[in-house]
Amino acid sequence: MKISVNTFGQLTDFFEPKLSLEINENAPIGEVFEKLVEINPQSKTLLENCRIAVDDNIIHEKEFNLKNNQEVFIMPPFSGG
């Protein structure tokens, strides 16, 4: 199945701001992270500290199962000033 992944902040040093990924049907959100680490292994440490949203809802568990054509947002830690 196909999903779109949006990256922000420091993640754009490793990936395009918007990616399209093929993952297994009903895959857990963790599979997205595995695919991204395959694309760029140097991103692993940063990805481990990111927040996730799917279709405008913050996801707290990595076992959340995705559906075809969902939109994933991966947000690295940030601070204001």
Which residues does residue 65 pair with via DSSP β-bridges, in sequence order?
Answer: 28
Q: Is the pLDDT of residue 72 over 90?
A: yes
Reported as a pLDDT band with limits 50, 70 and 90, residue 80 is low
For position 60, what pLDDT does the model report? 87
Return all residues near 31 (Cβ < 8 A) that are at least 6 apart.
Answer: 23, 24, 66
pLDDT mean over 39-57: 94
Domains defined for the chain, CATH in brackets:
2-75 (3.10.20.30)
